[in-house]
């Protein structure tokens, strides 16, 4: 049966979970980093030194399933600067990743989506025009009017959605890595799978200084050392080594055993996907080659980075695109700064896959981040 004139075309079947083609593009980008880096680590053993750090490397080496010479040489310190967790990018950026994400959120909110930005004003004006548009009368539009009223009663501005998305992502990060009614989820998994808090024993054999096999997990969770005040029986009087340890802050502790979900993989994956989601309405203007991945409903109403080309003059020729205004230049700088942070997170995610954690630990960190990302409001 032929379609009636003026009838709306049938909606194309969407992807599961409300995802769009550009979401699959994001997943392919992040997934290729995780899979590619992990395969490289498996092939070369580049991660084994850091996996075994703090434990008996000989025991781990003997337990290695590969007989390749690379398995044995991997326990030598890696020569790459980024294999050292003390590298400046890890200490300055990844260790403070959510602080940088907060800064990126503020930048894109102020210069891309808020009412003070040129693009934000255009979006607000378009929404206002839609609200005052004339709606045809009659019983056929009753459902449309009801839907419009529902939309007006909810928070649906681009900035409000962005704020809710940021709050949801922050909550996921806090529950996983910061606090979950005590220890965060990643530590609860570690403890539930057999992880123990053990003291680091560096005492010489001639010392009377002896340490227990394990201590309460709260010491590792809170990163507290064993001191003379908390464990006086561990520091015998007259023992020079015990006195020296006590004067230097006590005995350090560390986790041993259990499944250590890769926190770096989690936070970097979530950060990349979250920031890409925030930039989605602007990507078709930033990278026109990717525009086909983005439905028109996702695009920002107008190009926030450059004004429209002027109309042709009487000679039949145009003078080219209009020069960007100062606000449009700021909008472009804001978008590029967020893209630069995404690039940094992608590079650090790759170094994590190559130099740190077991394959299973990285896989669970990645899957946990995907689960958190699915909870975020999506651009549609």
pLDDT at 48: 86
368 CB-near residues (< 8 Å, 6+ apart): 176, 261, 266
Q: Is residue 183 scored above 50 in pLDDT?
A: yes
What mean pLDDT is predicted for residues 268-285?
97
Q: 């926030």: which residue's tokens?
A: 304
- Greater pLDDT, 101 or 74: 101
C-alpha dihedral sign at 63, 69, 70, 76: positive
- In order of 121, 142, 160, the CA distances from 302 in angstroms are 11, 31, 19
C-alpha dihedral sign at 84, 85, 91, 96: positive
pLDDT at 228: 81
pLDDT at 318: 47
pLDDT at 6: 41
pLDDT at 140: 43
pLDDT at 155: 53
The string of pLDDT tens digits covering residues 293-314 is: 999 999 999 888 886 655 544 4
pLDDT at 7: 41
CB of 229 closer than 8 Å to CB of 211: no
The string of pLDDT tens digits covering residues 301-360 is: 988 888 665 554 444 454 555 677 888 899 999 999 999 999 999 999 999 999 999 999
CB of 212 closer than 8 Å to CB of 230: no
Q: What does pLDDT average to over the chain?
A: 80
Q: Is residue 63 scored above 70 in pLDDT?
A: no
Q: Is residue 62 scored above 80 in pLDDT?
A: no
Q: Is residue 114 scored above 60 in pLDDT?
A: yes
Q: Give the model's confidence band at 80: pLDDT under 50 very low, under 70 low, under 90 confident, else very high.
A: confident
pLDDT at 316: 47
What mean pLDDT is predicted for residues 47-63?
58
Q: Is residue 361 scored above 50 in pLDDT?
A: yes
What mean pLDDT is predicted for residues 33-44?
96
Q: H or E segment at 112?
A: none
CB of 363 closer than 8 Å to CB of 91: no
Question: Per mean pLDDT, which range of 95-104, 248-257, 307-316, 344-353 is the poorest?
Answer: 307-316
Q: Give the model's confidence band at 247: pLDDT under 50 very low, under 70 low, under 90 confident, else very high.
A: confident
CB of 176 closer than 8 Å to CB of 269: no
CB of 64 closer than 8 Å to CB of 74: no
Q: What pTM did the predictor assign? A: 0.80
81 CB-near residues (< 8 Å, 6+ apart): 87
Q: Where are the domains of the chain?
A: 17-46+80-124+156-187+261-305+323-374, 196-256
Helices (H), the chain: 21-44, 48-52, 57-63, 69-73, 88-92, 97-108, 118-132, 142-152, 158-173, 185-192, 217-221, 240-247, 263-279, 283-286, 326-355, 359-374
| Closest among 278, 301, 288 to 165, alpha carbons compared | 278
CB of 348 closer than 8 Å to CB of 264: yes
What mean pLDDT is predicted for residues 65-71?
44
What mean pLDDT is predicted for residues 163-189?
94
pLDDT at 115: 58
Q: Give the model's confidence band at 66: pLDDT under 50 very low, under 70 low, under 90 confident, else very high.
A: very low
Q: How many residues would you count in the chain? A: 380
181 φψ region: left (φ > 0), alpha (ψ -120 to 50), beta (else): left
Q: Give the model's confidence band at 15: pLDDT under 50 very low, under 70 low, under 90 confident, else very high.
A: confident
């Amino acid at each position: 049966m032929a379609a009636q004139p003026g009838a709306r075309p049938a909606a194309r079947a969407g992807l599961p979970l409300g995802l769009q083609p550009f979401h699959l593009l994001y997943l392919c980008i992040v997934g290729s980093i995780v899979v590619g880096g992990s395969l490289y680590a498996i092939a070369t053993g580049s991660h084994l030194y850091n996996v075994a750090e703090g434990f008996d490397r000989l025991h781990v080496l003997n337990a290695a399933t590969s007989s390749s010479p690379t398995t044995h040489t991997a326990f030598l310190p890696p020569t790459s600067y980024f294999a050292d967790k003390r590298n400046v990018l890890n200490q300055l950026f990844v260790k403070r990743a959510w602080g940088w994400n907060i800064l990126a959120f503020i930048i894109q909110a102020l210069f891309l989506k808020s009412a003070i930005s040129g693009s934000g004003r255009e979006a607000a004006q378009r929404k206002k025009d839609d609200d005052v548009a004339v709606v045809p009368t009659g019983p056929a539009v009753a459902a449309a009017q009801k839907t419009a009223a529902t939309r007006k009663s909810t928070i649906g501005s681009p900035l409000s959605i962005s704020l809710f998305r940021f709050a949801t992502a922050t909550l996921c990060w806090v529950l996983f890595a910061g606090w979950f009614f005590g220890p965060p989820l990643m530590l609860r998994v570690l403890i539930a799978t057999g992880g123990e808090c053990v003291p680091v024993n560096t005492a010489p054999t001639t010392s009377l200084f002896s340490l227990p096999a394990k201590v309460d997990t709260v010491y590792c969770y809170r990163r507290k050392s064993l001191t003379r005040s908390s464990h006086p029986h561990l520091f015998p009087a007259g023992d020079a080594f015990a006195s020296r340890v006590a004067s230097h802050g006590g005995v350090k502790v560390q986790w041993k055993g259990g499944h250590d979900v890769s926190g770096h993989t989690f936070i970097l994956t979530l950060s990349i996907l979250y920031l890409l989601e925030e930039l989605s309405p602007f990507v078709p203007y930033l990278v026109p080659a990717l525009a086909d991945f983005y439905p028109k409903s996702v695009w920002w109403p107008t190009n926030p980075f450059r004004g429209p080309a002027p109309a042709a003059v009487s000679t039949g020729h145009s003078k080219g695109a209009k020069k960007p205004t100062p606000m449009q230049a700021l909008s472009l700088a804001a978008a590029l700064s967020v893209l630069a942070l995404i690039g940094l997170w992608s590079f650090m995610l790759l170094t994590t896959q190559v130099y740190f954690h077991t394959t299973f630990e990285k896989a669970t960190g990645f899957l946990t981040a995907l689960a958190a990302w699915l909870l975020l409001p999506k651009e549609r």
